Structure formats: C-alpha cells, structure tokens
A = this chain, B = another copy of it.
Amino acid sequence: MSGAVLEAEIESQPAEVEAFLTRHLAPMRALARGLRSCAYALVAARGSSDHAATYARYVLGALGGLPVAPAAPSLHTLYGTPPRMTEALVVGISQSGQSPDVVSVVEAGRRAGRPTVAFTNDLNSPLARAAEHAFDLCTGPERSIAATKTYTTQLAGIALLAAALRGEEAHFEELRRLPEAMARTLSGVAQHARAAGATLADESTLLTLARGVNLCTAEELALKLRELLRVFCQGFSAADFRHGSIALVSRGLPLLLVMPRGVGFADMQALAEAVTERGARLLTIGNEDATLPVAEVPEWLSPLVTVLAGQRLALESARARGLDPDRPVGLAAKVVKTT
C-alpha cells in the first residue's frame, strides 16, 4: 500500500517518545536547575517545529512559569538588528538542524552568554553545535517528507523541559505513562481514520480548530493536510476564529475540531454548536464519542495523542484520494534552508 514509509514512522512514535524520554530525562532534570532564574524563553523554529514552539507557549508557561517569545529570525539574518536577550532562555527547534535562521538565533544567545538549548535530529548539525545543550530527537533519521516522529519527540522535549523546570514528581510520572497511551491511541484510531479519511476524499477546503494547549495540534494538522492532501487547510484558535474568520463557515464545510477532555472542552463544545448551526460538517478528535477517539491523558500532554489521530487521518485521506503519502506532490526536499 502507498505511504508505507510514513505509516511506519507514524506507528513508531510511541517507541520513539519512550526512547527520547528515557535518554534525556536525567540530563534535562540536571539542566533545568540552572534555568529557573530565566525570565522568559525565546524560541526559534520553522515549519512543524514552529508548532512545537506553539506548544511551548502553553506548557512552558503553565508548568515552567515562562512566557514564550517566538524569535523573529529575520531580525538576525535580514535586518541585522537582533533584540537583546537579557534574562532569556534561548531554544532552537529544527529537525535537520540546518536552517540558518534558526541557527543564527541560538548563536546570538550563546554569544550573549545566555543558556541555549537545541532539539534536533542531527547532533552533528550546525544547530546542535551552536547550542550549549543539544538533545537529539529520534533513534534514526526521519525518511518521510512529512514530519511526524520528529514533531512528537520535539513536543516530548518541550514537555520534559517544562516538567523539569517545575520539578514535581507527578509530572515525570505522567510523562512515563505517555508512550503507552500513544500506542493505545494508534491501535484504536486506525479504522476510524480510514472511514473519516474516505469522507474527505473530494473536499478541497478544510479548517482545523482547537483551544488552549491543542492550538499546536490544529496548526500541525493543517500543515499535514496541506502537504499530504494539497487541500486548503488553515488551523485556528477557537477564540481567534470568532473574531472574524467564522464568516468562512458555510453549509457542508468540513471542520476538524481538536477537543479532548479538559478545561478547553466546554468552549469547543460551544463552538461546535455555533458552526453546526451554520451547516458545517464536523469531525472531532477527542474522547470516546469523537470521530477519532484518543486515549485520555493529562491535558498538558494531550497534544502528543491528538496529533496521532490527525496524522493517521491525513495518511488515510491521501490514500483515499489516490495520492502517495510518501511522495507529496510539489515537495521535493526534506531539508529546507531559509535565511
């Protein structure tokens, strides 16, 4: 069947996240002790990695107490006017570790004497060399053009950093139970994804929506669906969506709502009712009643299970369209170097 490479990488994620956590838990705990005096985190990333940075906004804020500033890399590379980095923890996230703009932000942090952390899948990359503390993501290279396992291990890295900044044993315990919940999600969701994917085979537009910590999932799944299905798909915060973009919803438009149990659930339910009144067709990722049910995990870790359901949906929907998920049309290069 087409998409065998992508499917294998999707299925490998519980094991990859478990390996990541096992390898890096102790070093991250040790590192975090020296980071607690930082006032905020400055995070440089592009593409899928930028969605991991969105996740950081929530969990570094909620657990670590750190507001997150996404770096504007062009201030370093184009404008030559990098902002000061006083009090910053500087984080670079890049699968390849090659993107010069992400590297330049971490280099500037290093020069400024700030603590620098990198998450990358290549410890020999310029990003890994630039950072004082580099964490490798996976046990092997990612072969698919569409990032999956490097995205979830980036999330695991951010989650681990947040837990280590907080320093409470309960969070580490929740992390330890995560890979099993990821495996349970994948084994349960495949058939649902096949059925739901087939219903999207003729759609050319789609929106993804989430609230709070799962905003990263809405953004990441929108990118996966754009890459693999070539559909127009934008991810929205449910709160921002009400400020204008809800005008887009018309009869029959498919909306993918990421709404696991948690404090954002009631707000997503209210949104689901509002868009149903406008005639939207809903697909949901969430609890046992959802179109794509996922295992229940603590809310701060839910993006690591919700994204699995959506990856599987994108894979199956590409297959239903007769597209090869291992050869996305219009995407040749795995490594994109932007300055």
Mark A residues whose CB is within 8 Å of B. Answer: 39-40, 42, 46-48, 50, 57-58, 60-75, 78-79, 81-88, 101, 146, 204-205, 211-213, 223, 226-227, 230, 232, 234, 239-240, 242-250, 263-264, 267, 278, 328-331, 336, 338-339
Count of chain copies: 2
Given contact pairs A39-B87, A74-B211, A247-B329, a sample of 6 additional A-B residue pairs in the complex whose CB atoms are under 8 Å apart? A39-B39, A39-B84, A61-B72, A62-B79, A68-B69, A242-B336
Contacts of A65 in B (CB 8 A): 83-84
Contact A247 B47 (CB under 8 A): no
Contacts of A223 in B (CB 8 A): 244-245
Contacts of A87 in B (CB 8 A): 39-40, 86-87
Of the candidates B79, B88, B267, the one whose C-beta lies within 8 Å of that of A67 is B88
Q: Say whether, besides A245-B223, A329-B247, A83 and B71 are in contact (CB < 8 Å).
A: no
The smallest C-beta distance from A20 to any residue of chain B, in angstroms, reads 22
Which of A58, A60, A69 is the most central at the interface, judged by chain B CB atoms within 10 Å of its CB?
A: A69
Contact A267 B226 (CB under 8 A): no
Query: With the chains together, A12 CA to B50 CA distance in Å?
Result: 37
Contacts of A339 in B (CB 8 A): 239, 267
7 closest residue pairs by CB, A with B? A47-B243, A69-B69, A247-B330, A61-B83, A62-B81, A239-B338, A67-B69
Query: Which B residue's beta carbon lies closest to that of A94?
Result: B243
A-B contact pairs, 25 of them (CB 8 A): A39-B84, A39-B87, A39-B88, A40-B87, A40-B88, A58-B74, A58-B75, A61-B72, A61-B82, A62-B79, A67-B71, A67-B84, A67-B85, A72-B212, A74-B264, A79-B212, A146-B244, A205-B205, A226-B245, A226-B247, A230-B248, A239-B338, A243-B336, A247-B331, A249-B330
